[in-house]
Amino acid sequence: MSALAPSDLFAGKTAVVTGASAGIGEGFARYAAGLGMKLVLADIAADRLESVAAQLRANGAEVEAVVTDVSDPQSVEAMASQAVGRFGQVDMVINNAGIMAMGFSWEVPAERWDSVLRVNIGGYVNVMRAFIPRMLQQKTQGWFLQVSSIGGMFPSPLMAPYSVTKFGTLALTESLYYELQMQEAPIQVSVVLPDSVKSDIFSSAKEGATLPAAQAFNDALQQRADEMGITAEEHARRVFEQVAEGRYWVTPQPEAIDQGVVPRAEMIRARVNPQLSFEV
């Protein structure tokens, strides 16, 4: 594993961050700018994206802000072309853009299911397809980060679309890791498994949580994030430190995974039926 500090390893490199206008993505952008990285920030929320980019530029960062719909392959391809056109090459990609849907799985509207799958899985695939070939062609050291969640380890009621896509991200990322090993590519792949981070992701999802149980569950998750979550920039710091160490499994808050993964594996090994561990 690398012994270099993130500031030594990543300064002057170019990073692409999707979902960069808020939450974890904004935290990645701000921390990377502090390391001296050049940034390509992508998001569908144009006003918020430009606000973040303007603040970073005012502090001296080189930033290209590109309004991007990650669920649209052409939009992602245009963003990739713009990134390379501006900075010459891309050294790091942080595949982060995602949305959430709350409610009983059979009552989440079909169009909402479709949106979550198109953004959270299709978007990651589109970004991979746009940037991996470019990074392979560069033949330089690179880093490709895919943000899953502890929700990719432990499925949850009332947020099945999110759980499905975060589990899918684990499979997608591990497959990519093996494929790049087959290519003997100098690209480090990492999967990021955040726990609660202070953001408005649950508040933003509440509009779709029409049932009382879903609303109560949503409120509980938002309260947990507000009270126990780390800030997005602290999350980014921990992620960049672990990536600099060469880790595939990036666990900025390892406690929840450490507490849950062994009992879950034992449940599967023993063929024990899953048990709901909290009241809804």
DSSP 67: E
d(CA 109, CA 105): 9
In this structure, the number of other CB atoms found within 10 A of the CB of residue 155 comes to 15
- 265: which 2 tokens? 């594996």
Q: Which residues are catalytic?
A: 162
The H-or-E segment that residue 223 falls in is: helix 212-228
Please name which of 139, 146, 156, 155 lies closest in space to residue 190, comparing C-alpha atoms.
146
The number of CA neighbours under 13 Å toward the Cβ of 189 is 24
In this structure, the number of other CB atoms found within 10 A of the CB of residue 1 comes to 8
Please name which of 275, 239, 270, 272 lies closest in space to residue 254, comparing C-alpha atoms.
239
